[in-house]
Structure 1
């Protein structure tokens, strides 16, 4: 299974790199609009959201929207291989590239938000399937973290061009409750 996932990751990374820039921008903006209109967004007093980097949905508008709405905003802080914590930020200026992947992160002293206190988790992926299966980057960070966020609604952001009918899934892979594209919302039965 690992070799099949690794091969699929290479294919999806190539597809992402080949996306038309105008489509990529429009899809990202559509996804942000759809997520901020979703009832789970309105109901959430706390949001855990990745900081999008090149090739991913630009989540900075979501991060700003959460802060402007007075929500507790937490972003990932890598703690070591496969391990991360949710750390609260009050401003995007607190984020700086760090860790092994150069992803913008909060400072090490940012307060930790216990995963069980999170109301909404916004998830990255290389690809997703309508059943909530995500193809991540292979580090296992989210599959280790998400079971701890037992009270959170889990929404994976995926451009429609990267939605796959079926993706490989292992028993430890945590599915999203919803997959959100620029033009559709998939409610995933039995997410988790």
Structure 2
């Protein structure tokens, strides 16, 4: 991992840590509203389950379920460095698991990656071109290299934006980035209507 990526991760974590819990709640709600508009018409959406202090996806998951959308969540498989997918019709079954990420362990409803139309991805840092930094383990990049068909939507707070993110061959670019302030279209790919 490059020193630049390490420095950008630290800067983004520091910027995010300065947000108060009420700001995180307010900004997460704004991001959720933008996402619901962007995702209108989708039937199967993969959404990461957030942990503090990430963009909170709890209400988004509930809203998508209420709309009748099939919500799919990732389950981290450390042994294979991959993501396993499960439908999540009931968020009350989530329990903290790998890296303290909430997962539906014991209540899994296996989902096929081929059925996912859009993926909501956590970002530690990002730039306006659609390049992102995650936490460094590469779970999403590996998943998206293997299953490139879904629309890729990264979400983060605007304070996590960098001027430029260094990219490597296995880094996957986002189609859209959503912050509390805007939706950035990073590719020529349009959201289905």
* TM-score of the pair, normalised by structure 2: 0.90
What SS class does the counterpart of residue 177 from structure 2 fall into?
A: strand
For structure 1, which runs of at least 5 residues remain unmatched after alignment? none
CA distance in 1: counterparts of 2:10 and 2:159, whole angstroms: 16
CA distance in 2: counterparts of 1:36 and 1:171, whole angstroms: 31
Matched, 1:53 2:51: yes
Cα deviation, residue 58, structure 1:
0.5
Cα deviation, residue 7, structure 1:
2.4
What residue in structure 1 maps to residue 103 of structure 2?
A: 105
**Number of residue pairs the alignment of both structures matches:** 188
What residue in structure 1 maps to residue 85 of structure 2?
A: 86
- Matching residue within 154, 157, 169 for 1:156: 154
Cα deviation, residue 154, structure 1:
0.8
What residue in structure 1 maps to residue 31 of structure 2?
A: 31
Cα deviation, residue 108, structure 1:
5.0
Contact 1:77 1:108 in 2 (8 A): no
Cα deviation, residue 112, structure 1:
2.2
- Please say which of residues 126-135 and 142-151 is displaced more in the overlay: 142-151
What residue in structure 2 maps to residue 127 of structure 1?
A: 125
Contact 2:120 2:155 in 1 (8 A): yes
The superposition leaves residues 122-171 of structure 1 with CA deviations (integer Å, 9 ceiling, x where unpaired) of 01011111111111000100001112333211110121121122111111
The superposition leaves residues 24-72 of structure 1 with CA deviations (integer Å, 9 ceiling, x where unpaired) of 322111111111011xx11211010001111100000111011111111
What SS class does the counterpart of residue 149 from structure 2 fall into?
A: coil
